[in-house]
Each structure stands twice: as C-alpha cells, then as structure tokens.
Amino acid sequence: LSALLVSTSKQMPLIVNELQRRELSLEPKRGKRYSWGYPACPDVADHQKVFALLPQVNELGLELSTAYQLIPEQSTAAIVVHHPAAKYYAVGVSRVEQLLGN
C-alpha cells in the first residue's frame, strides 16, 4: 500500500498540471511546478505561509509536523507557473544545509 501511495503522490501533480494546461489551452510541458524543499523553494518552514493562505487545510485533513513536513506523509504542495519563460533555479541554502544548521 505504501508503494502505491508514493507512486500516486508523484504522478498526481503531473496529471493535475496536464489538466490545467488543457483547461487553459496551453501547449504541453509549458511552465514549471515549484515545491518546497527543492532548490527554488528550499525552506520547508514556508509551508506555514501556505497554511495561512489556505484556511481550508483543516477541511482537507492537512497538518504540519514540527519539521514543517506535510501530514499525511504523501501530501504535496506546489506553486504552478504556466508562463513560457518559467525555469528552474536555486535560492538560499539547500535543505541539507538547513538540516545541518548551516
């Protein structure tokens, strides 16, 4: 069951992005998706800001751990940008550096 949840949690954002592109009549693969904990949004503590912007998180059954990880474990949050010039980039310190306290 765990493997199925991991696989689903990785595929669902891709499916949702494709549905968004179709609904907006955008070409395939246009834009980028930025998730916390990755180079463009390295600080997972910013999940608190997502929760402040989305008061429905309680209705969805989402919580934050003391390490700012989403609960349930296979949950995901992202900023989706459909601009054709969107690209991946890195800011700040890496998640490893955060964990090491650097």
- Is residue 64 within 8 Å of 51, Cβ to Cβ? yes
User: Where residue 5 falls among pLDDT bands split at 50, 70, 90?
Assistant: confident
How far is Cα 31 from Cα 84, in angstroms, rounded to an integer?
6
pLDDT digits (tens, 9 = 90+) for 62-101: 999 999 999 998 888 999 999 999 999 888 766 677 677 7
Distance of CA 75 to the CA centre of its chain: 9
Residue 63: both structure tokens together: 């919580």
**Structural domains of the chain, with CATH:** 2-100 (3.10.196.10)
- pLDDT of 1 > 80? The answer is no
How many angstroms separate the CA atoms of 25 and 27, rounded? 7
Q: What is the pLDDT of residues 9-61, one digit of tens each?
A: 778 888 888 999 999 999 988 899 999 988 899 899 999 999 999 888 889 89
Q: What is the DSSP letter of 46?
A: G
